[in-house]
């Protein structure tokens, strides 16, 4: 009997009504199956319930991995091909390389390998497999893995033993690695390598023992180390590395005495002199300055030249600033930071026209110094804002992309880590338009952390609405008002600290959006009269923002409302900032450049630039009236007078 239109409509409605229940049931089965697969409890898996689930490949991955290394390469390759649009494919390739390598199934390893794999152990297995098929490539790769000053995984033992037996790694290579281990402080590895050396190296070993006790003896040891002087370059590079770190001034004097008499390879000589320049500048050893400047002329090293410019700035040597900026390689020299300082130096020397040209070049960049240059020119900030939009039809297609659906499913079953891997693998494979479509999807779903990471993986540097999303905006505005703190500063701190990942955990133990240390959370909770949230409670976004807002407010109170100093203290601690202010130059830009910690210098610049971007986006992308710092913050003296308690 044919159904009437009304009956069809009711049937469709009933079917749609049941779909969420079906999805929930399937997801529960998949969640249980994945947990069982991880524990190798195969009897607990209801295969019929998950066969058609879009995450079935994750269970299959664990099943096939469990069968390695017995599983044949054809099965592995079939899995990789079927899951080529997911991270599962490359994960399986890596697992197969490791398991085949450990089992000595090198033919199978090469069958599944697709070039040199990632990871030291897998690379060692790969080059071991190549010993018979391509001995030259095996030797080159193996020597590169050997040439490190730390112990390598057991997976490398067979490769290294084979290369030693073939003469590809000889006593010279053993000695050079021993010297690298000395530089790295790996005394156990030094002893192990020393036992591999024959009696011809006894004098060289004795020399190392002497220098370990007294670096200054470097001027009194033989200049020819090892058979045919094969060990000279490595020994003097290692000894001078340690001497430079221990006593740079004495090391420089010793080097001047011995350098003319040593026959070293060019890389070793350059490494020694680079160390000397670096430590002489970092430690501000004036006695070495003339030699440093002479050495730098033939050493176009961006990091060293940056240090030399910063030294000139600290001494208000404006002519030196210009000269050393001009010696930088082209790419770093064109950065806003150095064009800004070029403009500042020219301005100090009275060349305002050329200074404005340098400022204009800097002002084209979206950064702290780019914004500071724009302020000097009285221009709005160059945000270079990229807008993106997609029609509803295309957005519906994106929602059906397999990677998107797998990500959604992984989130539903509580697998955030796998969801992140699935998502960012999709972004990495995507075309620029596809990557932007994924960013658009993440924004519409409110996936703030995924969105920020999507812009990084996809290199969408001008998509500011996505790079700086309105995440947790109400919390920032609320606690900004409650604590009297600029809410855009709070947003800038959170964006820099965690990239809006509410579960971010730093190696030091800082947690959440604003990266609060557990001890600080305890102290702030006591100050606010609330319960200690503990290590997990501090991850709650609202509480984390409240605690971070309170802490930065305390720092602002400490530094008379100065956001630059307070931001530095948020990163490096107030004790350090107090010391820096007592020895600081007076102007704001010189204070930023004088911060001795590279991380804190970059942090302060990023947070304050982000703050200006957030405010501009809140104004519809218009930077008119937005300032990276207030007039008071740019005109105040950055010295001990900034401390509320002198």
What are the catalytic residues? 497
Strand-pair partners of 505: 511
Which secondary structure element, helix H or strand E, spans residue 140, and what is its range? Answer: helix 135-146
SS3 316: coil
- Burial of residue 195 (CB within 10 Å: 0-12, 13-18, 19+) is exposed
Please tell me the total number of residues recorded for the chain in this structure. Answer: 646
Cβ count within 10 A of residue 535: 12
What distance lies between CA 611 and its chain's CA centroid? 21
Six-digit token pair at 268?
A: 């070793």
DSSP state of 153: P
DSSP state of 152: P
End-to-end CA distance of the chain: 93
d(C-alpha 136, C-alpha 518), whole Å: 53
Q: Give Rg (Cα) of the chain.
A: 30
Q: Cβ distance 483 to 515 under 8 Å?
A: no
For helices 487-498 and 598-618, what crossing angle results, to 10°?
Answer: 130
SS3 214: coil
d(C-alpha 358, C-alpha 339), whole Å: 5
Q: Cβ distance 500 to 449 under 8 Å?
A: yes
Q: Cβ distance 559 to 566 under 8 Å?
A: yes
Q: Cβ distance 453 to 424 under 8 Å?
A: yes
Query: How many angstroms separate the Cα of 600 from the Cα of each of 81, 185, 567, 576, 641?
Result: 46, 28, 9, 11, 21
Query: How many angstroms separate the Cα of 550 from the Cα of each of 197, 295, 521, 522, 630?
Result: 61, 49, 10, 13, 21
Residue 148's contacts (CB-CB under 8 Å, 6 or more residues apart) are 177, 180
């Amino acid at each position: 009997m044919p159904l009437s239109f009304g009956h069809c409509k009711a049937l469709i409605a009933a079917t749609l009504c049941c779909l969420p229940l079906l999805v929930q049931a399937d997801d529960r089965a998949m969640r249980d199956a994945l947990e069982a697969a991880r524990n190798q409890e195969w009897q607990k898996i209801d295969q019929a319930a998950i066969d058609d689930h879009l995450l079935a490949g994750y269970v299959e991955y664990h099943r096939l991995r469990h069968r390695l290394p017995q599983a044949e390469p054809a099965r592995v390759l079939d899995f990789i091909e079927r899951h080529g649009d997911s991270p599962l494919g490359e994960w399986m390739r890596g697992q197969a390389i490791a398991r085949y390598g450990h089992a000595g199934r090198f033919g199978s390893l090469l069958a599944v390998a697709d070039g040199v794999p990632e990871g030291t152990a897998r690379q060692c297995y790969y080059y071991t497999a190549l010993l018979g098929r391509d001995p030259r490539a095996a030797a080159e790769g193996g020597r590169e893995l050997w040439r490190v000053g730390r112990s390598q995984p057991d997976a490398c033992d067979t490769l290294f033993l084979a290369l030693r037996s073939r003469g590809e790694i000889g006593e010279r290579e053993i000695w050079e690695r021993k010297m690298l281990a000395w530089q790295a402080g790996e005394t156990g590895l030094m002893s192990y390598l020393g036992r591999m050396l024959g009696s011809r190296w006894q004098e060289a070993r004795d020399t190392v023992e002497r220098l370990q006790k007294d670096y200054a003896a470097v001027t009194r040891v033989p200049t020819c180390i090892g058979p045919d002087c094969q060990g000279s370059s490595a020994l003097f590079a290692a000894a001078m590395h340690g001497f430079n770190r221990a006593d740079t001034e004495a090391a420089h004097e010793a080097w001047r005495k011995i350098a003319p008499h040593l026959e070293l390879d060019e890389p070793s000589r350059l490494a020694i002199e680079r160390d000397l320049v670096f430590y002489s500048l970092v430690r501000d050893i004036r006695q070495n300055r003339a030699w440093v400047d002479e050495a730098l002329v033939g050493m176009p090293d961006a990091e060293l030249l940056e240090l030399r410019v910063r030294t000139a700035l600290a001494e208000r040597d404006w002519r030196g600033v210009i000269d050393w900026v001009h010696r930088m390689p082209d790419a770093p020299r064109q950065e806003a930071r150095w064009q800004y300082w070029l403009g500042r130096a020219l301005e100090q020397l009275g060349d305002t026209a050329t200074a404005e040209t340098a400022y204009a070049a800097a002002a084209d960049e979206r950064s702290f110094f780019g914004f500071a240059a724009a302020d000097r020119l009285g221009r709005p900030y160059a945000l270079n804002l990229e807008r993106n939009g997609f029609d509803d039809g295309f957005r519906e297609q994106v929602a059906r992309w397999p990677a998107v659906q797998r990500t959604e499913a992984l989130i539903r079953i509580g697998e955030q880590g796998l969801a992140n891997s699935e998502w960012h693998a999709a972004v990495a494979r995507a075309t620029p338009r596809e990557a932007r479509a994924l960013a658009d999807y993440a924004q519409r779903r409110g996936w703030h952390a995924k969105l920020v990471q999507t812009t990084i993986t996809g290199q969408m540097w001008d998509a500011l609405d996505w790079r700086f999303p309105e995440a947790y905006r109400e919390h920032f505005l609320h606690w900004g008002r409650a604590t009297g703190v600029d809410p855009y500063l709070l947003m800038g701190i959170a964006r820099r600290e965690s990239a809006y990942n509410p579960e971010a955990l730093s190696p030091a133990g800082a947690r959440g959006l604003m990266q609060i240390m557990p001890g600080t959370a305890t102290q702030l909770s006591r100050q606010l009269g609330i319960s200690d949230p503990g290590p997990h409670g501090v991850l709650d976004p609202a509480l984390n923002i409240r605690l971070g807002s309170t802490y930065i407010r305390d720092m602002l109170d400490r530094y008379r409302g100065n956001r630059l100093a307070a931001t530095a203290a948020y990163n490096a601690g107030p004790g350090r900032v107090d010391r820096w202010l007592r020895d600081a130059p007076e102007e704001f830009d010189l204070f930023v450049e004088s911060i001795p910690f590279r991380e804190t210098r970059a942090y302060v610049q990023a947070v304050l630039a982000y703050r200006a971007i957030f405010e501009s986006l809140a104004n519809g992308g218009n930077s008119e009236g937005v300032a990276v710092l207030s007039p008071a913050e740019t005109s105040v003296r950055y010295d001990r007078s900034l401390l509320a308690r002198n």
